Each structure stands twice: as structure tokens, then as C-alpha cells.
Structure 1
Amino acid sequence: MNKLELIQALKDTQNLTKTEAIKCVDIFFGEMAKALEKGDRVEIRGLCSFHIKTYDSYTGRNPRSGEKVVVKPKKLPFFKVGTELKKRVDR
């Protein structure tokens, strides 16, 4: 399912206009992104959670040339599946 399919499902099940459905989806994902930008944890009970993982700087290797390069420290979002979703998928 992609964003457009999610918008269509919301529109059909909740009798919303397409504009209203787009606004709902944009608000939902926008607020999630804002929370993660601030470093907050986002949890949707039974489905999943997101948090920010911090990675330290390290020395890596360029796979093409083989030369050593310094990889800067970074922060990346980390997804963790919820128990209820695990059970639903693994039937």
C-alpha cells in the first residue's frame, strides 16, 4: 500500500472528500516526522514504534577505490514492529 492507496481507503471508508483524506494523511505523517525530528519516540500501540538511533563516527572503506574514509556521526530513524502486528502477519 502506498500513500495514494491509503488516501483512497480513508476516503472510501470514512466518506471524506479526497482533499479531506489527503489533509488527514499529511497531518498524521507530518506530526510523526516532527516528533522524530525533535528526538521523540513515536509509538502506535499494537502496530509499531519509531525512535532515533545515534551512530558514532567510524572509519569505513570506499568499495570502488578501497581507500579509507571517515564516516560522520549520524542519526537515523529506527522502526520496530509491534507484537500484535507480528502475530497478524505470521498466521
Structure 2
Amino acid sequence: MVRSELVLRLAAQNPHLHEKECEAVVSAILGRIQEALAAGDRVEIRGFGAFSTKTMRARQGRNPKTGESVPVTEKKALNFKPGKEMRQRLNSDTPDALPELRWAG
């Protein structure tokens, strides 16, 4: 599923909201998650999973084409750990239907 599909699905399940409002909601949520991760915070969504960052240390890499040794600088990587409910759902033989997204407001 891509972002536009998420917006369309959210709008279809909440007919009282316009598509532009759904886009604003999705953008606000994703933007806040990005801000928190950039600040080094952990983001947990109960029943879904937790996002965190991990620092990858600097190391010596190798250019696969030439075999030359190349320095690789320290960088951050995104880490996702699925929640218990998500793991159970992914490993079940008959996954349940997705819970409906509802706007309370």
C-alpha cells in the first residue's frame, strides 16, 4: 500500500471527511513520526509495532566493482519491531480483516 492508497481507504471508510482532510491527517501523522525519529526518539504504535533508530558505526567497506577498500562513515538506520498482535496476525493461517480506521472528531 502506498500513501495515496492509504488516504483513499481512509476517505472511503470516513465519508464525512474530504479526501484533502484525510491527506492532511496522514501527512501530520507521518510527519510527526519522522520528526520524532530524527530527534532520536522511539515511536510505538500499540498493536502495530515500534520504530527506532540505530547508529551504524563507521567501518571499512569494499567497492564491489574494483575491490578497493573504501571508508564508510557512521550513519543512522531505521529499525522496526512488530508488535505482538502484528506478529500473531502475520503468522496465522487465516489473517483477520484489517480493523477500520475511524476518525473521532
- TM class, shorter-length: over 0.9
Runs of 4+ in 1 over 4 A off after TM superposition: none
Aligned mates of 1:67, 1:20 — CA distance in 2: 52
2:61 is the counterpart of 1:57: no
Map of 2:85 onto structure 1 = 84
Cα-to-partner distance string for 1:39-69 (whole Å, 9 max, x where unaligned): 0000001111110100111011100000000
Shift of 1:79: 1.0
> What is the TM-score with the length of structure 2 in the denominator?
0.84
Shift of 1:5: 1.0
Map of 1:5 onto structure 2 = 5
Is there any run of 5+ residues in structure 1 with no aligned partner, and where? none
Is there any run of 5+ residues in structure 2 with no aligned partner, and where? 93-105
User: Which structure features the higher share of helix residues?
Assistant: 1
Aligned mates of 2:76, 2:90 — CA distance in 1: 29
| Root mean square deviation of aligned Cα | 0.7
Q: Work out the number of aligned pairs and report it.
A: 91
> What is the TM-score with the length of structure 1 in the denominator?
0.96
Letter in 1 for 2:60: T
Cα-to-partner distance string for 1:11-66 (whole Å, 9 max, x where unaligned): 01122101000000000100000000100000001111110100111011100000
